[in-house]
Amino acid sequence: MEGQTLGSRGLSEKPAATSPGLSSLGAVFILLKSALGAGLLNFPWAFHKAGGVAPAFLVELVSLVFLISGLVILAYAASVSGQATYQGVVGGLCGPAIGKLCEACFIINLLMISVAFLRVIGDQLEKLCDFLLSSAPPALQPWYTDQRFTLPLLSVLVILPLSTPKEISFQKYTSILGTLAACYLALVIVVQYYLGPQGLVREPRPEPSPSSWTSVFSVFPTICFGFQCHEAAVSIYCSMRNQSLSHWALVSVLSLLGCCLVYSLTGLYGFLTFRTDVSADILMSYPGNDGVIIVARVLFAVSIVTVYPIVLFLGRSVMQDFWRRSCCQVCMPRALANPSGLGVRMSLTVLWVAMTLAMALFLPDLSEIIGIIGGISSFFIFIFPGLCLICAISTEPIGPRFKCCLEVWGVVSVLVGTFIFGQSTVAAVLELF
């Protein structure tokens, strides 16, 4: 990256160096599906943890401002740096040390998210098998209904083929299906509130209130975990045909507003249905023999299956960067030196799926570390975008007053992200011990 290149570009429109081909609608769906993941199940519980509807909505709206601004900052930073990956943007603008920290956080976060996704898929498959074989005693259920067989089979037959494409633009097709599946879950929760789940006796309960101000802030990790699509933002932006910042801002607003609508409906009506009895996984609060809920489980598993390849694509890009740097130091055949080649790409994809599958099958319950995942996500939503903004505007011909405002916003973003990371990490560690 050369300094004169950075200084010679304008602020309004800065196409990044890539081979664009993604439409705006495709970008909206990929960005939307990147955010609509396993966090959807936790939002009713987050509403309860926040102390009710009003505090939860307030936290969500405040977060939404930072979420949208973070996406716009990342696109601006990508066009300034000329990089096409998140970690490349951070390393190019903030220096190699921050870049290495970004890569480490990137890999850890995406690995744990992939494991969490596989655990969610496995749990839904297990519940489905229990429903289909409800007449058989648990001890006599066939071996092929075990999660240790069904999850690897699904990974090999479905997840692995969906994860092999070279470009993220391919995911626009599966993202549409995954988004519709997530919307079905939200619709079911809304309808069940008015119809009443089977066996649920509604009793008058006092309106909950936050036990303390820390309980309100404790839902930030859940929101970060639910809305995290920033890791994919740079790759999506650099794949678009129209790379003007104003156009990307519109794509970001539409995507996150759609995501916010689905999350809010799920959180609101799931919380109003069960109140203080709501489970951390909203589907676990409903009876297991309800056909509508069974369909919701299947479709939500489909939704998670479609978002897993996006997470894998981002994690693989970090490994490909490491592979590329290693090839610069060691003489290797051209077929192996190209990290985007079929052989290397397939090897890295198989390695990622195998690693996360093994962790999902043999590690204990991961529900306790969801807060840690949300805390690490604050780096990608708040801290790294804030640092990129501060570093990027130092190279741009911007008026002093506007530049000062951007610097202040960058500092605020970093401070908010640091607070969320510290608070969520301490809370998660205390729960573990």
Distance between CA atoms of residues 383 and 132, nearest Å: 46
Topology classification of domain 21-199+207-363: Hydantoin permease (1.10.4160)
Residues 6+ apart with CB under 8 A from 380: 86, 105, 106, 109, 228, 230, 231
pLDDT along the chain (433 residues), means of 10: 38 46 84 81 85 86 91 93 90 91 88 86 81 64 78 91 79 76 89 76 54 66 81 89 90 92 92 84 79 85 86 86 70 58 84 91 64 78 93 83 91 91 71 59
In three-state secondary structure terms, 244 is strand
Which residues have CB under 8 Å from 83's CB, separation 6+? Answer: 1, 16, 89, 91, 92, 234
pLDDT of residue 175: 75
315 and 298 Cβ atoms separated by less than 8 Å: no
CA-CA distance, 240 to 229, in Å (whole number)?
Answer: 16
What is the dihedral sign for C-alpha 292, 281, 172, 25?
A: positive
How many Cα atoms within 13 Å fall on the side-chain side of residue 296?
24
pLDDT of residue 318: 85
> Which run of H or E residues covers position 32?
helix 24-35
Count of CB atoms within 10 A of residue 202's CB?
Answer: 10
| pLDDT score recorded for residue 282 | 85
pLDDT at position 10, please? 42
Q: How far is CA 377 from CA 232, 287, 417, in A?
A: 12, 33, 9
Contact 425, 109 (CB under 8 A): no
Q: Which residues have a Cβ under 8 Å from the Cβ of 91 and sit 6 or more positions away? A: 83, 98, 99, 100, 102, 103
The whole-number pLDDT of residue 433 equals: 58
Distance of alpha carbon 253 from alpha carbon 432, whole angstroms: 37
Q: What is the dihedral of CA 146, 147, 152, 155, to 10 degrees?
A: 130
Q: Where are the domains of the chain?
A: 21-199+207-363
> Could you tell me the two tokens for 246?
């104003």
How far apart CA 16 and CA 80 sit, in angstroms, is 8
SS3 state at 240? strand
What is the distance between the alpha carbons of residues 270 and 190, in angstroms, rounded to a whole number?
Answer: 7
Instruction: Please classify residue 200 by burial: count the beta carbons closer than 10 Å to its beta carbon, then call 0-12 exposed, 13-18 middle and 19+ buried.
Output: middle
Q: Residue 222's closest CA among 27, 47, 400?
A: 47
3-state secondary structure of 22: strand
Residue 144 corresponds to which amino acid?
A: Y
Cβ atoms of 91 and 325 closer than 8 Å: no
